[in-house]
Amino acid sequence: MATGDSNESKSEDVSNNTQTDVNAHQKTFTLEILHIIKEAQQQHGLRHGDYQRYRSYCSRKLGRIRKALHFIQISKHKFQGKKVTEEVLTDVRFLYIPLMMAERAWGYAMQLKQEANTEPRKKFHLVSRLQKAAKIATDLEVLCESSKCDARTKLEAQAYSAWIKGSLYFELQEWQAAIEQFRISQTIYEKLSEALNEEEVILYKQRVEELTPNIRYCAYNIGDETAINDLLKLRLSGKTSGEDLLAADLDHLIAQTREKQAVTLSEVEWRNRKIPVRHEKIRLFLLNVQDSQTQVDQAHDFQAKIAIYERLLLECKDALQVVRDEMKDQAAKGRSEAVQSSLTFLHSYLTYIRLSKTIERNLIFIESLKQNMVNSEVSEGKKLTKPQDLIRPYEIIIQNLNEMTQLPELESDTQFSEEIEATCLAYKAHRCYYIADVYATANKWVEAMALYGRAEEYIKSVLKNPVFKDQKLIGQLKDLGTKIEGNKYNAYSLSILGNDPSTSQGETSKKKKNLTERLDEYLEDSSLVSQQPKITQFPPDFKPIPCKPLFFDLALNQVEFPSLEDRIEQKKGGITNFVRGWLGGWK
């Protein structure tokens, strides 16, 4: 940690010294406030929402600046506060002191806002931190009004101070004062974006877009009812995902709007039958289903669309659990069959919604994969899509369609069954097409032609079915039929050609073998008459051979030999014999 801080300190000191040398030859100072705080926030925690880390960085930055400028407030014996004034302003780095102090207070306030979800008492501390940030930002604005600062620094200080004040009034729910401050900040940033070059314009335009949801939210709370539609569009487009003050409040506002609309939703109609809806959670879910297509159309990319479907499927899971619990309660109380049938039909309807939204989500996923196919332009950093990658999503779609045909209370609805079966055949045609592409990639032309033919049969049967009326899917099937016709004749021609890629690959693999390995196959190999012919491998590989057999006498340990003691010559002993033997008389 100390090493990182030292490296950070050295790099910032070098940049600060360079900027000091430049400003020494200038009459006025320039401080790009928005650029400085955005870069610091992205590099020190706010990319991941870590406000505590950013607040600590601001404290370390302040200490380094004060030490470099010899503007330290703490001595050996006491604390002596030093305020940056116009007389002290001899270096542009003095402007960093109030800026970092304001950012530190603002970062602390945002940290407390995250913690206030579980600890409401921290709301008061949050307001006090924002009040301190607003006061320091006002001092910075007054300091930048000095003749030592240029016009751009003055405008940036005014915009920054207005944004901090607007954030304070927003938290205090003083909507009129907040909207005035946000509009001042937005106007200044718009003028700055028009006056600067193209490289610096992007940052200011992003700040203008970030302030728009805050202004519309304040307008809605003041009494502008039309602002709710704009807020919903901004939220769905993802432009408020990074706004700290607004994201949670806007979600709460959307939930309140849904609850007001859910009061009027007492029943829904599906398959010519009306279903009563009593539970509030199910009503909210059905309202979200009605608005889901609009949300998907307004989403800015595939990931945002898939996120909408994921959130909707989670809500559907909760709604289904509510219906199951109610069915158990009604069964325990012994209710009539009509009530049980109504709940069963509602459960089938919610299950149908879950399966249909799962199919739509997979279709979005398939569409994103098709953009990265071999023949399409693939952006950098994205994986190239192969035909086999599209088979599994279509199989999941077919499985979901088969589950729809097994829903209870729909056994007698023949039209529903025929529509689902026709749709299932349509997606089977897509699956067969991509399986055939996989075989064609492997040069298996016979299998590819058979699958192309099966896909054509599926398409013809679907287009002839009078029940099937999905015009979008019909158009996709017609385009698919055109592709299948071309690919089928291409596979047929390659299967009957003698010099197809598979034959050339076989000859190449045979040429790589030695002559001794292909004695039964004739092949003209020019390497045999060259100076290095491929006849056999030298030195040859080691081969295992049987070793010399070993014999083991296993019966020796089990044989009992006869005693031979009677045949052993007995020697006579005595002292005479012993002395004679000791003197050398032993023979």
Amino acid 257: pLDDT: 58
Band of the pLDDT at 20, cuts 50, 70, 90?
very low
Q: According to the model, what pLDDT value does residue 519 have?
A: 82
C-alpha torsion 575→579→584→585, nearest 10: -40
State whether residue 583 is helix, strand or coil.
helix
Q: How confident is the model at residue 244 (pLDDT cuts 50, 70, 90)?
A: very low
Q: What is the pLDDT of residue 450?
A: 92
| DSSP letters for 312-337 | HHHHHHHHHHHHHHHHHHHHHHT--H
pLDDT of residue 402: 94
Q: Is residue 508 predicted with pLDDT exceeding 80? A: no
Give 267's strand partners: 276
Which residue type occupies 350? L
The rounded distance, in Å, linking the Cα atoms of 374 and 382 is 12
Q: What share of the chain has pLDDT > 90, as a percent? A: 37
Is residue 397 packed enough to be buried (19+ CB in 10 Å), middle (13-18) or exposed (0-12)?
Answer: buried
Q: How many whole angstroms separate alpha carbon 432 and alpha carbon 456? A: 9
Integer Cα distance of 419 and 223 in angstroms: 48
Residue 32: which residues within 8 A CB-CB, separation 6 or more? Answer: 152, 156
Angle between the 151-171 and 93-115 helix axes, to the nearest 10 degrees? 20
Q: Is the pTM of this model over 0.85?
A: no
How many whole angstroms separate alpha carbon 267 and alpha carbon 278? Answer: 8
What's the rounded Cα separation, in Å, for the pair 227 and 213? Answer: 9
Residue 233 has pLDDT above 80, yes or no: no
Q: Name the burial class of residue 207, with classes exposed (0-12), middle (13-18) and buried (19+) by CB atoms within 10 angstroms of its CB.
A: buried
Name residue, tokens 């954030």: 167
State the pLDDT at residue 2. 44
Instruction: Name the band, by pLDDT with cuts 50, 70 and 90, for residue 249.
Output: low
In whole angstroms, give the CA distance from residue 228 to residue 123: 26
Q: What kind and span of H or E run contains 276? A: strand 273-276
Mean pLDDT for 548-567 is 81
Going by C-alpha positions, the residue among 425, 490, 502 that lies closest to residue 463 is 425
- Rounded to whole angstroms, the Cα distance separating 570 from 587 reads 15
Rg from Cα positions in the chain: 42
- Return the pLDDT at 384: 83
Is 389 in contact with 333 (CB distance < 8 Å)? Answer: no
Which segment of 67-71, 373-377, 434-438 scores lowest on mean pLDDT? 373-377
pLDDT at 403 over 60: yes
What pLDDT does 452 receive? 94
Is the pLDDT confidence value at 243 over 80?
no
Q: Could you give the CA distance from residue 85 to residue 100 in angstroms, rounded to a whole number?
A: 16
183-213, pLDDT tens digit by residue?
999 999 988 888 777 667 888 888 988 888 8
Specify the pLDDT at position 18. Answer: 43
Rounded to a whole number, what is the distance in angstroms from the first to the last CA of the chain?
A: 96
Separation CA 244–CA 137 (nearest Å): 19
φ, ψ of residue 162 to 5 degrees: the values are: -65, -35
**What number is the average pLDDT over the span 221-226?**
74
Looking at the chain, how many residues does it have?
587
Max CA pair span of the chain = 144
CA distance 429 to 436: 11
Which residue has better confidence, 500 or 12?
A: 12
The whole-number pLDDT of residue 538 equals: 82
- Residue-wise over 526-565: b if at least 16 C-beta within 10 A, else e? eeeeeeeebeeeeeeeeeeeeeeeeeeeeeeeeeeeeeee
The pLDDT of 372-401, averaged and rounded, is: 80
Which among 76-85, 280-289, 308-317 has the top mean pLDDT? 308-317
pLDDT: which is higher, 108 or 244:
108
511 alpha-carbon distance from chain centroid: 48
Mean pLDDT to the nearest integer, 513-538: 79
- Mean pLDDT, rounded, of the chain: 82
Please name which of 235, 233, 254, 252 lies closest in space to residue 243, comparing C-alpha atoms. 235
Nearest to 180 by CA among 219, 206, 209, 128: 219
pLDDT above 70 covers a percentage of the chain that reads: 81
